[in-house]
Amino acid sequence: MDNQDIGGPAQPLLSARQLVKHFPVKGALGKRDVVRAVDGVDFDVLKGETLGVVGESGCGKSTTARLLMQLIHHDRGELVFDARTVGGHDLPLRAYRRQVQMVFQDSYSSLNPRLTMEQSVGFGPSVHGVGKRESLERARDLLARVGLEPSRFAGRYAHELSGGQRQRVNIARALAVNPRLVILDEAVSALDKSVEAQVLNLLQDLKDSLDLTYVFISHDLHVVRYVSDRILVMYLGEVVEVGPAEALFESAGHPYTQALLTSMPSMDPANRTLVSPLSGDPPSPIAPPSGCRFHTRCPHAEPVCGQRAPRLTPVAAGHLAACLMVEAGAGHSRSPAVALRLQEV
C-alpha cells in the first residue's frame, strides 16, 4: 500500500473538520476546569503547499499539531486524509502514520539518547516491515541526503551532535517512512540564526525533490512569511484568519493578525514601534471570553462582539477572517451590508 495520490490535485491532502480537544484540569476543591485547547478548528492543507500556522501561547497550535499526528485523539470532529477518514476503514491509524510525520522543536529530546543516529532514523522503516539491514542502509542514505556524512554521523549518539545537526537527523527520521505530509512544530525555533538558515534551505530542497507538503508551525513571523504559501492564524483554540502569505501580511483581515504583525519589532531604527498594539498577556484557554474570543483586547470591539461568535468569512479569494467587521449583517458598525461575492476560482 504505497503513498499514492488518491484524490487528485484539487483534493486537499489533509482536512481538519471541526476538531475539538479539551483537557481537564484539576481546579480547586470540586471545581473541574477545562482547558479548551482546540475548540472547533477547521482548515485544509493543500497538496504540495507549505501551510504556516502562527499564534501565541495558549492558541492551540501545538495541540493541533498533535491532533493532526493523532498523538492525541480529538474529542469531536474529523480528520480526512486525501479523501479518506483517518482511523476509518480505508485508512487505519497505522497506515496513516506512514503518510504523516512530525519534526519537534527540541532536537535533543526528540532523539533517544541510547540509540545511534542510524538506529534512530532506521526505527520507522523497521516498524513497517523493512528488514534491519535495509533499515540501516536506508537510514544512512537519508543522513547523506540531509547533509550529514554517514561515515561520520551514523554511529554517533545525540549528545555528540550540535543542535542543527540533531535537527537534520530528526528530519531524516521523519522522511524515513516516505511520508507525504511533514508537520514541523517549531522545528527551527531553538536553532541559532546562522544554523536556522541552513535547515530552512534544506527543508525547501527536500520539499521540491520529494514532493512533500508541509505544515509549518512557528511563532516567528519572519520565518513563516519566508516559507509559507498560505498562513493560518490561531487565537485561543480557534482559527481567526487564513489566507495566502503575502495577502495576509499586506492586508490582514483580522484585528489580531494586524496586532501580531505590528508587534514584530521594527527593522528600521528611524521608525521604531512607539505604541504596542495590544496590552496585557494572551488570556488562558481555561475560561475563554464569550462571543468573539478576541473582543477583550480588540481595539474595535463593540458590545455585539461579546455576544456573537464570528465565523470564517471570505475577505478576498482564498482569504478568510473570523471577525464581525467583515461578516455581512453581523451587527457590528463596520459589518458590510452584503456578503462579498467572490468568483469561484
For residues 241-260, which are near other proteins according to CB under 8 A? 245-246, 249, 259-260
Contacts of 112 (CB under 8 A, 6+ apart): 120, 158
Find the shortest distance in angstroms from Cβ 330 to other proteins. 25
CA distance 64 to 267: 31
Q: How far apart are CA 307 and CA 328, in angstroms?
A: 16
Which residues, 263 to 302, sit near other proteins by CB under 8 A? Answer: 263-270, 272-282
Nearer to other proteins, 122 or 310 (CB): 122
Tell me how far, at minimum, the Cβ of 339 lies from other proteins, in Å. Answer: 31
Q: What residues between 33 and 72 interact with other proteins by CB under 8 A?
A: 56-57, 69, 71
| Binding-site member from 38, 41, 67, 111 for other proteins (CB under 8 A) | 111
Burial profile 230-241: b = 16 or more Cβ within 10 angstroms, e = fewer: bbbbbbbbbbbb
Residue 105 C-alpha cell reads as: 522543536
Candidates 62, 165, 213, 313: give the one binding other proteins (CB under 8 A).
165
Q: Which stretch binds other proteins (CB under 8 A): 11-19, 22-30, 109-117, 318-326?
A: 109-117
Q: How far is the CB of 298 from other proteins (least distance, A)?
A: 12
Burial class (CB in 10 A: 0-12, 13-18, 19+), 48: middle
SS3 211: coil
Q: How far is the CB of 73 from other proteins (least distance, A)?
A: 12
What's the start-to-end Cα distance of the chain, in Å?
33
* Residue 180 binding other proteins, by CB under 8 A: no
Residues 60, 186, 205: CA angle, nearest 5 degrees: 130
Q: Which of 20, 83, 195, 309 binds other proteins (CB under 8 A)?
A: 195
Sheet with 213-217, side-by-side order of all strands: 100-103, 181-185, 213-217, 50-54, 230-235, 238-244, 319-321, 313-316
CB contact at 8 A, 195 and 163? yes
Q: Does 140 bind other proteins (CB under 8 A)?
A: yes
At a CB cut-off of 8 Å and minimum separation 6, what does 201 contact?
none
Give the span between the Cα atoms of 108 and 181, in whole angstroms.
23
Task: Choose among 80, 69, 76, 61: nearest CA to 15.
Answer: 80
Q: Which of 27, 113, 303, 331 binds other proteins (CB under 8 A)?
A: 113
Figure out which of the listed residues 9, 24, 30, 129 binds other proteins, where binding follows CB under 8 A: 129
Instruction: Report yes or no: 312 and 42 within 8 Å, Cβ to Cβ.
Output: yes
How many chain residues are in contact with other proteins, going by CB under 8 A? 100
Compare residues 71 and 342 and give the one whose CB is closer to other proteins: 71
* Least distance CB 340 / other proteins (angstroms): 26
Which triple of cell numbers denotes residue 84? 479518506
18, 109, 290, 307: which one binds other proteins (CB under 8 A): 109
- State in angstroms the smallest separation of the CB of 262 from other proteins: 8
- Per the document, the length of the chain is 345
Stretch that binds other proteins, among 7-15, 82-90, 216-224, 327-335 (CB under 8 A): 216-224
Among the listed residues 84, 207, 219, 308, the single contact to other proteins using CB under 8 A = 219
Nearer to other proteins among residue 323 and residue 330 (C-beta)? 323
Window contacting other proteins (CB under 8 A); options: 31-39, 122-130, 298-306, 315-323: 122-130
Q: Establish if 152 lies at the interface with other proteins (CB under 8 A).
A: yes
> Cβ of 134: how many Cβ atoms within 10 Å?
12
Q: With CB under 8 A as the contact rule, which of the stretches 79-87, 261-269, 306-314, 337-345 interacts with other proteins? A: 261-269
Closer residue to other proteins in complex, CB, 40/277: 277
